[in-house]
Structure 1
Amino acid sequence: MNDFAAGTRIAILGNSGSGKSTLARRLAAETGAAVLDLDTVAWEPGKIAVPREPAAAADDVRTFCGTHAHWVVEGCYARLVRATFAFRPRLVFLDPGLEQCLANCRARPWEPHKYASKEEQDERLAFLLTWVAGYYTRDGDLSLAGHQALYDAYDGPKQHLRALAEAGPAPV
């Protein structure tokens, strides 16, 4: 286990396509930690782009964190990442820049927990790429400005990574 994964209560925040899921899987494989993809609590089950009641989603995050001794929570929802703060995680702000996020989205494997088929996922790629590019100019919970503000306000352990490789090597 590298120093990055020590303590294994980690909240990963960043743009869509920044590598959050990849890093979360890597850390879970290395440490045995449970993983929560915030997309699974932010949206109504079985529906695309229908948000859940924010308090219910935050309650699910807190329940997950309280149920597992070691965990990794990842997503682009600043308000849901904030719900992990009572558990004093290491906050990782993954920020590789627009071009890397776009490339990662284009290379993304099928996400069966989000889409019924790879074809359905691919049909939404153009929207996703536009959404990813907007991260740098929009405001709010799902923006660079919102993520930076959350990162700056957190007084616990934290890291701002510009590349996935800064997190250390993948487990052997």
Structure 2
Amino acid sequence: MKVNVVGTSGSGKSTVARQLAQKLAVPYIEMDKLYWRSGWQGTPGDEFLARVNLALAEAAAGWVLDGNYTRTKAIKWREVDWVVWVDYGFFRTLWQAIRRATLRSWRQSELWPGTGNCESFRRSFFSRESIIWWTLKTYRQNRSKYLAEMQDADNGHIRFIHLRSPAETASFLANVQR
């Protein structure tokens, strides 16, 4: 089984992806871990695509991929079986992003091993790189994009699973079988 879990930052996609990978007994691949380098530097385009390709090839029998990154769509959706879209309401998603940013800033734990990247209150609340700002900026765009993707005939090989609430998510996860 090959699954891409998508959704706006703060929606809970990483949590859903980890739980789904565990239930399916396949590797969990976090796109942010493939993208972010030390000092909050992103991986350049071709190198990032190569890293995604390699991660998927190494887990060829099945994987759960966590992340949006539109530029990777041709790679990640080439063989994907499901796209699970975690699409909770705006205020819930925003609250979850704020809560997560606050906890991460407080704990100062490294987000991706070896990068040294930690959230800070300044970065989370008073910066253009704020994950909260990113959530505000992309929520509506992501909804439009994934609604269109679900209708696109080119995606006819993909089963879209649209999760609109924590209850729907819990039910979905409870019913997933290996």
TM tier, smaller? 0.7 to 0.9
Whole-angstrom CA distance in 2 between matches of 1:131 and 1:101: 12
Name the counterpart of 1:112: 110
Q: How many residues align?
A: 157
Q: From the superposition, tell whether residues 150 and 58 of structure 1 become closer, same or farther in structure 2 (CA, over 3 Å).
A: farther
| Structure 2 length-normalised TM | 0.74
Larger % of helix: which? Answer: 2
1:23-52 per-position Cα deviation (integer Å, ceiling 9, x unaligned): 011112222211111112233x1131x332
Whole-angstrom CA distance in 1 between matches of 2:92 and 2:50: 32
Q: Which portions of structure 1, spanning 4 or more consecutive aligned residues, are displaced by more than 6 angstroms?
A: none
| Structure 1 length-normalised TM | 0.76
Q: Which stretch of the first structure deviates more once superposed, 17-26 or 153-162?
A: 153-162
Q: From the superposition, tell whether residues 100 and 47 of structure 1 become closer, same or farther in structure 2 (CA, over 3 Å).
A: same
Greater radius of gyration (CA) = 2
Q: Does 1:31 align with 2:31?
A: no
Task: Give 1:117 shift.
Answer: 7.3
Q: Percent identity?
A: 23
Aligned partner of residue 76 in structure 1, secondary structure: coil
Instruction: Report the residue type matching 2:149 in the other structure.
Output: L
Task: Give 1:12 shift.
Answer: 0.9
- State the superposition RMSD in angstroms: 2.5
Q: Does 1:132 align with 2:130?
A: no
Q: Which runs of 5+ in 1 are unaligned?
A: 1-7
Task: Give 1:21 shift.
Answer: 0.4
Q: Which runs of 5+ in 2 are unaligned?
A: none
1:93-133 per-position Cα deviation (integer Å, ceiling 9, x unaligned): 21112211112122325362347476x44332222222211
